[in-house]
Structure 1
Amino acid sequence: MKLLSSTITMLLALGISPSLQASAPLPGVGASPEGTSVSGLSSGAFMAVQYQVAYSASVSGAGIVAGGPYYCASNFLLTYAGICMGTVPFFPPNPNLMVAAAQLFALNGDIDPLISLQKSRVYVFSGTKDTVVYQSAVNATVDFFKGVGVPNINLVYVNKVPSGHALLTPSFGNTCSANKAPFVSKCTVGKAAYDQPGAILSHIYGPLNPPAKIRTGQLLTFNQREFADTSTSMADDAYAYVPASCTQGVSCKVHVAFHGCLQSEKVVGDDFYGKSSYNDWADSNNIIMLYPQVNDSQPLNPQGCWDWYGYTGPNYAYKSAPQMKAVQAMIERLTLSSSGPMAMH
């Protein structure tokens, strides 16, 4: 006991809190740099759009659940937030303006050339009972992707399900029409539970093995601070699910899932990254799941949203944006060769 007390005293004298030990670094697991994809809900959907468009040369597809078009807010949150979420009657977002912005950014080298989007596969979803991001905004997202070259055959829009503002999973969450935390719900479509992570991943990658009934991989907590400082609103820790096959010589793809506002681990625990079906599909299909985290910060990000309106700076939709660079660096880390044993969450 005296030894423990002395150790704590020494740590405090050095300005180190003994209860705040940093999580382990994100390991390299030899993931494939090909086939990276993204998805997200709400602000995470806006972020998935941004990441898909900005890094289109290295991102094969995206799943957009209740998200508006690229660069919709145009750095004017107070002016355009309502429009971008579809809450202003008779005044939806204008996708042509967003297409023009993306074309300019690509011409200036701020994002990848838009020609890469011709190979992208994009799933878009809007629930008919969503009272947070309305269908008029999501309609503009579909028109934006068409405008930047995503072929109709590669673009699917699901907009008839009577769901609220939520990621839809088969066995966890609120009733279908709910618009409340944890923003994960259960819906029945065609007499079967709708599995949105499965629908997203199947659209992006093609036919998949059935989801695992028992997960065999590892859910990791890793130090996110090495990729982004506190000014970005990104949390100290983030999460990754690594199937067993991905540590046994199989080169796995990476899928990044962006949570929505009020949906980080700080607010809803593991409801998004642990209780949805993403990890079940990943486990049986050699896909590494990456779950970066954003927390609330005052005064411009009180709900812990991803930056789709400029609170981290005017370049928030560019490849050089701090949150975007952080996620890209995490993906690059995963593609490095194995860096030893992983600590299970």
Structure 2
Amino acid sequence: MKLLRTLTIVAFALAALPHTALAADALPSYAGDLSQTSVSGLSSGAFMAVQYQVAYSGSVAGAGVVAGGPYYCAAGNILNTTICMGQVPFVPPNPALMVAAATGFASLGQIDPLANLQKARVYVFSGTKDTVVYQQAVDATVSFFKEAGVPASSLQYVNNVAAGHAFITPAFGNVCSDNASPYISHCAVGKRGYDQAGALLQQIYGTLNPPAKSLSGRIVPFDQREFATTATGMADTGFVYVPSSCAQGAPCKVHVAFHGCKQSEAVVGNDFYAKTNYNYWADTNNILVLYPQVNASTVPFNPQGCWDWFGYTGSDYALKSGAQLSAVNAMVGRLLSKP
């Protein structure tokens, strides 16, 4: 009877756990080309995408930066974040300082050589109604990439859409000018819904097959603890969209999509990893979409669930050895580790 009672208690306890905690297994492996990896993100996720592109430029084909500032802008000091977000009038970030810092890191082998950026393709977006990360900060991101070696012909800057602080979809989310949760909005450009996922993926990869009308693949939760301890601020569970073609052995590439602050699964559910249109483009173009997750935490101090772009995980946060960068890089390596 005691054993039966114990088993019953355990069963009820397991039933009370979040679904993803039960469903998350080890991150699976597929076949593909690591050199075709790309990244994108919104807000803190955009800062993270810039960091990943610069730190791992030898294996990253391009980046999509939606409302994010230049590499190493905060220089490890949270007091610099308001300047990096363009919130101090007439005091924009200085991209020349960031290029100098990146050059120094590269000379020490702490990030990949900046010469790799000459082959990168970059998409940058700043909404004219964004009241979180203002355009003077995003202007500095464009300047940083140009000064760091990205050819002007390989860089697209969209800064004339009346959007707030959000990732843009053709139909889902808030009205275009909103600066509010879930930080996903729908906007029209030229009387058509603006598909930001498609815009940035095609800027990076060139012309792609049209997006799927219905998805053939599935969203797979996976255990992030294999790659990142709780001290990194990263959540227990991440997600990856796996097109059926990749699951069946086709050679695929990886796109990493970094959510913004207050935009992890714990806050907005599946809005970011299921409703931003990445998966529909991925489905018809042999792209695995990795959605790593960061949650709010007190240790490390990260109350809004942001990616680390100012040093809360350590002074090497923007280097290849950084806790979050190295964890995501290991995830990408796992995804494409099958011969």
Matched, 1:75 2:76: yes
Report the TM-score, using the length of structure 1 for normalisation: 0.93
Q: Is the contact between residue 30 and residue 249 of structure 2 (CA under 8 Å) also seen in structure 1?
A: no
Measured against aligned partners, the alpha-carbon deviations of 1:254-313 in whole angstroms (never above 9, x if no partner) come to: 000000000000000000001110000000111000000000112631100000000000
Partner-residue secondary structure (3-state), 1:238: strand
Paired position in structure 1 for 2:67: 66
Paired position in structure 2 for 1:23: 24
Paired position in structure 1 for 2:167: 167
Q: Is the contact between residue 171 and residue 187 of structure 2 (CA under 8 Å) also seen in structure 1?
A: no
Matched, 1:155 2:155: yes
Paired position in structure 1 for 2:127: 127
Measured against aligned partners, the alpha-carbon deviations of 1:223-260 in whole angstroms (never above 9, x if no partner) come to: 01110000001000000000000122210110000000
Paired position in structure 1 for 2:274: 274
Paired position in structure 2 for 1:222: 222
Paired position in structure 2 for 1:7: 7
For 1:292, give the aligned amino acid.
Answer: P
Distance in 2 separating the partners of 1:18 and 1:200: 40
Q: Is the contact between residue 8 and residue 18 of structure 1 (CA under 8 Å) also seen in structure 2?
A: no
Partner-residue secondary structure (3-state), 1:225: helix
For 1:151, give the aligned amino acid.
Answer: P
Report the TM-score, using the length of structure 2 for normalisation: 0.95
Shift of residue 218, structure 1, vs aligned partner: 1.3
Equivalence map 1:68-217=2 (5 Å): 68-78=69-79, 80-217=80-217
For 1:244, give the aligned amino acid.
Answer: S
Question: Would the alpha carbon gap of residues 282 and 5 (structure 1) be closer, same or farther in structure 2, given more than 3 Å must change?
Answer: farther
Distance in 2 separating the partners of 1:10 and 1:277: 39
Question: Would the alpha carbon gap of residues 284 and 110 (structure 1) be closer, same or farther in structure 2, given more than 3 Å must change?
Answer: same
Q: Is the contact between residue 35 and residue 58 of structure 2 (CA under 8 Å) also seen in structure 1?
A: no
Shift of residue 130, structure 1, vs aligned partner: 0.1
For 1:57, give the aligned amino acid.
Answer: G
Measured against aligned partners, the alpha-carbon deviations of 1:173-220 in whole angstroms (never above 9, x if no partner) come to: 000000000000000000100000000000000001111000000110
Shift of residue 91, structure 1, vs aligned partner: 0.4
For 1:101, give the aligned amino acid.
Answer: A
Question: Would the alpha carbon gap of residues 172 and 11 (structure 1) be closer, same or farther in structure 2, given more than 3 Å must change?
Answer: closer
Paired position in structure 2 for 1:235: 235
Percent identical residues:
63
Distance in 2 separating the partners of 1:164 and 1:5: 54
Partner-residue secondary structure (3-state), 1:101: helix
Distance in 2 separating the partners of 1:260 and 1:10: 36
For 1:46, give the aligned amino acid.
Answer: F
Question: Would the alpha carbon gap of residues 99 and 21 (structure 1) be closer, same or farther in structure 2, given more than 3 Å must change?
Answer: same
Partner-residue secondary structure (3-state), 1:211: coil
Larger helix share, 1 or 2: 2
For 1:56, give the aligned amino acid.
Answer: S
Equivalence map 1:328-339=2 (5 Å): 328-337=329-338
Shift of residue 337, structure 1, vs aligned partner: 1.7
Once the two structures are overlaid, the 10-residue window that deviates more, 243-252 or 44-53, is 243-252
Which consecutive residues of structure 1, in runs of 5 or more, have no partner in the other structure? Answer: 339-345
Which consecutive residues of structure 2, in runs of 5 or more, have no partner in the other structure? Answer: none
Partner-residue secondary structure (3-state), 1:51: helix
Q: Number of residues paired by the alignment?
A: 335
Paired position in structure 2 for 1:290: 290
Q: Is the contact between residue 168 and residue 184 of structure 1 (CA under 8 Å) also seen in structure 2?
A: yes
Distance in 1 separating the partners of 2:60 and 2:264: 23
Distance in 2 separating the partners of 1:9 and 1:130: 50
Paired position in structure 2 for 1:258: 258
For 1:66, give the aligned amino acid.
Answer: A
